A and B are shown apart, each in its own frame.
Chain A
Amino acid sequence: MKSKKVRVLAIPYAVWIVGFTLIPLMFVLAKAVTSPAGGFTFDNLLAIFDPVNRKSLILSLLLAFISTVMCILISYPVALILKSSKIKNKKILMFILILPMWMNFILRILAVQMLLSKNGIINHFLTMAGLSPINIINTPYAIVFGMVYDYLPYMMLPVLNCILAIPDDIIEASRDLGANRLTVLRRIIIPLSLSGIGSGITMVFVPSMTEFVIANILGGGKIQLLGNIIEQEFSVTMNQHLGSGLSVTLMIFVLLTTLLFGRHEDTNKGFVL
């Protein structure tokens, strides 16, 4: 009886998955393996080896990789500091960390554009302090900055959850057994927080790899990621078949990343967001 009721409750989910994931995915797959004139072809999938597309794919992967590493480098120390701090209500601190996510993401990126632009606020303060202004707007650096700014909470939360969940007893025990701070970090904290880092990587690397809006706004239209090419194929060139083909290739990379880093999630179910 009970299981039947549960199944009824799953209907909205089934509708969602079928209507908004499976059916659209079929369309994309069908377009990816056909040519505009009709007929089966692998050309759209192989188009990734075209020099222009390949270059954009490599750039996408590179920027996504740098952003992910930066996110880890920022989140991890913060999590460690929070872990050892005496603050009672750590929930409040986590709340502050995710507060920026309450604002629309395009608005946040436009704000970053304002901050970084040539006569922007950051340069204004730099020149006031007698320093030379920085010129990173419309370069890949600005895109990385935007991605880190945008996706940091997605890394911060799982890492923080994971580290805060490590029982203090374990750390104390290892201390008693003569481990110094570095050994505790290396042998206890890092291994026990790998699952958090794993889900953080998936949640940061995947969206930054498929990104095109940030690249457009902060890259000044000069930097072309694979996401931008796909967008162009759909909106300007109107070659939906090629666009779908490239999307499918990108999906393969997404799948690989998820398989590589996502498997840790099973071992530590309770703490993933």
Chain B
Amino acid sequence: MFIAAAIAIIIAMALILIRGILGPTIYDRILAVNLFGTKAMLLIAVLGFLDGRPEFLDIALVYALINFIATIAIMKFWGVTDISQPSKSDPLGDI
């Protein structure tokens, strides 16, 4: 069961990576890095159970905190600088 979960998480990671590479707008990329942090956390938790060392679960929890803080900081940074304003006419932004 843990092996199936690990494979599913790896496939999700690959899909998120494709979206992060292709992502036409900035929102795709922010979501990609946020989701990738979540998937890394889940992978660490699953790996802990695969190896029979479930104490990795604590580390996965701390990862969740770091990921949350990083995403909030990116969004806050986004709000206070003027790179959020598109320089061309596209309302989705040009980045």
Q: Decide whether A and B assemble into one complex.
A: no
